Structure 1
Amino acid sequence: MTTPLLFDAGALALHRRRAACAPADFLLRHVAADMADRLAAVLRPFGEAAEIGALSPVLADAIAPGFPGTYRPLGDLADEVLPLAPGSIDLALSALSLQFVNDLPGMLSQIRRALKPDGLLLAALAGGATLTELREAFGQAELDVEGGVSPRVAPFADVRDMGGLLQRAGFALPVADSDVLTVRYDDAFALMADLRAMGATNAMAQRRKTFTRRATLLRMAEIYRERFSDPDGRIRATFEIVWISGWAPHDSQQKPLKPGSAKARLADALGTKERPVLGNNHSEE
């Protein structure tokens, strides 16, 4: 089955090159600091690490004090093929890059194959609540001014789905959680300037290839301020960070008990009376 093309790799690369000239990396720095803390809590040494989708040295600098091993940044994911041999690394990290992958299940499977047994994946990506305000304001503005809606904000990951994706890719002990940051701006145009400086402007394959009308932009900013501003007039922008982790299977890892191996009855623990399960051909008076 052909993977749907969500993102234009050429446009995404162009946006990132432009952003490198004057980057807005506050969000990446926040994630990098959090990732360094999470990694420090893992009581296991790692010797060979790869950063998937490394856009800058921010993450490498953040974890360097506690990571004495070999660190390999992999910045170009345009063809979505990892240049890693099977079982060649024992740590895979990614900070705010995997949300721009067309085939996320396939990328997770590649990372899983590249990890040695008991190797760890730790990644952060933009979640589904990211930029909900901008999505709503643009959608209503396009309806008001142009009579239709075009794709503008990517369909980011849902934290409820990520655990299942990790399991499908073959990871053991999968974990997915999220946190939400609210950033305030003077207006919607200041937010959009930051998104450009992050290299995170619209790179969707089905986006309109023409400039947005001035009237649409002005209406969007008006709606944004009406619906998502604080008493001081500044607007709010939501960024959801989804965190995922999973381990390449190894015999030393915890495993669920086999059915019937429990040494205590659940009914006894709950202090209730155990009742037999009735089949479809029985009824209970």
Structure 2
Amino acid sequence: MDRLGLGLQVLQTYREMKKRQKNWAAVLQDGHQYDYLRDEVGSRVADRVYDIARTFPLALDIGGGKSHIAEHLTKNVVERLFLTDISQQTLKVQRQSDIPTQRVLADEEFLPFRENTFDLVLSSLTLHWINDLPGGLRQIHQVLKPDGVFIGAMVGGETLYELRCSLQLAEMEREGGFSPHVSPYTAVTDLGNLLGQAGFTMLTVDIDDVQVYYPGIMEVMTDLQGMGESNCAWNRRSMLHRDTMLAAAAIYKGQYCMSCGPSAL
């Protein structure tokens, strides 16, 4: 197999793995208890929409999942909505909304819409899983009308720093090396440059720190799995040794949990 073919296969496997993770998380009977982060960020994105004094006839929510943004909006602001997601099971979960919504099974990396279609494009906590982020942003710019608005929120910076460090230190101690278990995230400075290169103007890039507290590392990893946010990097190790996990849990508790209190996500 040539190098290009191998690269395409790796990228396809990566997306298929993320689809399986999200499908699995969507059918959990207690899945609602893992929605707290997406609900919070979705409400913050919706607040930004209300800050704009206009009505949007047609909007697109990329990777909208369970309507985490739309449930906070009204048809007085958004008259019609297209909601896409890579996960068919996630699209089946419908929340209360008075906005006429059409759900489309689509990969965020390949938007199936014509240019100059939407007045508003929204995205919440999904762009960090796109392989080609510059290309994804260019597609968003293309499907927007010339006076359209893009409002998105993505995981970035030092998110999951505590988890990353604990796993790396534990693997170094017990196994003499480490492999990636937490996906890399885009820095805010890079994001501004990427938006500009994609054709966006009048940019505003803000940083919101959302603090989520946990009593230990296992609770962090359980919630990430329930969110469908487990790592799916092509070069990750699928399993961690038991001794390594115990060491990581001890490091997490000792370094980041104050008096057995939780640490920030």
TM-score range, shorter chain: 0.7 to 0.9
Aligned to 2:206: 177
Deviation at 1:64, TM superposition (A): 2.9
Match of 2:261 in 1: 234
Following superposition, the deviation at residue 180 of structure 1 comes to 1.0
1:9 aligns to 2:36 (yes or no): no
* Secondary structure at 1:71 match in 2: strand
Partner of residue 227, structure 2 = 198
Render the CA deviation track for 1:9-46: whole Å, top value 9, x for unaligned: 12111111121123301111111111111110101221
- Match of 1:25, as an amino acid? D
CA shift, 1:68, in A, is: 4.0
Count of paired positions: 235
List alignment gaps of at least 5 residues for structure 1.
239-285
| Aligned ranges 1:1-285 → 2 under 5 Å | 8-20=14-26, 21=28, 22-23=30-31, 24-64=34-74, 66-76=76-86, 78=107, 80-209=109-238, 211-231=239-259, 233-238=260-265
Check 1:65–1:115 CA distance in 2 against 1; reply closer, same or farther (3 A cut): closer
Alpha carbons of 1:133 and 1:66: their partners in 2 closer, same or farther (altered >3 Å)?
farther
TM-score (structure 2 length as normaliser): 0.84
Residue equivalent to 1:265? none
Looking at structure 1, the residues matched to 262 and 256 of structure 2 have their Cα atoms a distance apart, in angstroms, of 6
- Cα offsets for 1:189-217 (capped at 9, x unmatched): 111111111101111111123x2111111
Contact 2:215 2:257 in 1 (8 A): no
Q: CA deviation at 1:111?
A: 0.5
* CA-CA distance at 1:234 after TM superposition: 2.2
Query: In structure 2, what is the Cα distance between the partners aligned to 1:224 and 1:86?
Result: 47
Question: What secondary structure does 1:119 align onto?
Answer: strand
Tell me which amino acid in the other structure corresponds to 2:116: G
**Larger proportion of helix:** 2
Q: Which moved more, 1:2-11 or 1:22-31?
A: 2-11
User: 1:198 & 1:84 partners in 2: Cα distance?
Assistant: 27
CA–CA distance in structure 2, aligned partners of residues 206 and 93 of structure 1: 31
TM-score by length of 1: 0.78
SS for the counterpart of 2:167 is helix
Question: Which residue type is aligned with residue 133 of structure 1?
Answer: E
Change (3 A) 1:38 1:68: closer
Letter aligned with residue 167 of structure 1: G
Which range moves more in the overlay, 191-200 or 13-22?
13-22
Determine if contact 1:87/1:114 at 8 Å carries over to the other structure: yes
Q: CA deviation at 1:73?
A: 0.3
Q: Cα offset for 1:151? A: 1.1
Q: String of CA shifts for 1:249-279, please: whole Å, max 9, x gaps.
A: xxxxxxxxxxxxxxxxxxxxxxxxxxxxxxx
CA distance in 1, matches of 2:154, 2:61: 13
- Distance (whole Å) between structure 2 residues aligned to residue 123 and residue 173 of structure 1: 14
Residues 216, 253 of structure 2: 8 Å contact kept: yes
How far 1:66 moved relative to its partner?
4.6
SS of the aligned residue for 2:206 comes to strand
CA distance in 1, matches of 2:79, 2:144: 15
Distance in 1 between residues matched to 2:108 and 2:250, nearest whole Å: 39
Give the counterpart letter for 2:227 in structure 1.
M
In structure 2, the gaps of 5 or more residues are 87-105
Q: Deviations over 1:128-163 (max 9, x none)?
A: 211000000000001111111111111112111111
> 2: CA distance between counterparts of 1:162 and 1:180?
16
Percentage of matched positions with identical amino acids: 34
Quick one: higher RCO (CA 8 Å, sep 6+), 1 or 2?
Answer: 1
Tell me how large the CA RMSD over aligned residues is: 1.8
